[in-house]
Amino acid sequence: MYEIAASDPKVVAGELEQIDKAALRRAKWREVAQARTLEQLQAIGKARGYHPLWPSHIMREREAKRAKIDALAQGGDMFR
């Protein structure tokens, strides 16, 4: 089987902080929202370990949303 290497925990100077999960979630969302190009989304996806097609999905959804907004602005029905 596998051997487990013995290691002692490292002690590092500093202070512990409470992690605000909601703030982390908002920061991740904001990063994606601010990305304007496919290349920017690809970099985010790669850094987060997302599926390679994730950026394409985000861009496709943004285009669909933009099309609905344009249709409404022209007096159309958004449920078409």
pLDDT score at 66: 94
Residue ranges of domains in the chain: 22-73
- Judge residue 40's burial from the number of C-beta atoms within 10 Å of its C-beta, 0-12 exposed, 13-18 middle, 19 or more buried: middle
Q: What is the pLDDT of residue 43?
A: 98
**The predicted structure's pLDDT at residue 77:** 64
Residue 38 contacts residue 55 (beta carbons within 8 Å): yes
Q: Count of alpha carbons within 13 Å of 47, Cβ hemisphere only? A: 9
Task: Output the tens digit of pLDDT for each of the chain's 80 residues.
Answer: 778 877 888 888 999 999 999 999 999 999 999 999 999 999 999 999 999 999 999 999 999 999 999 988 888 665 65
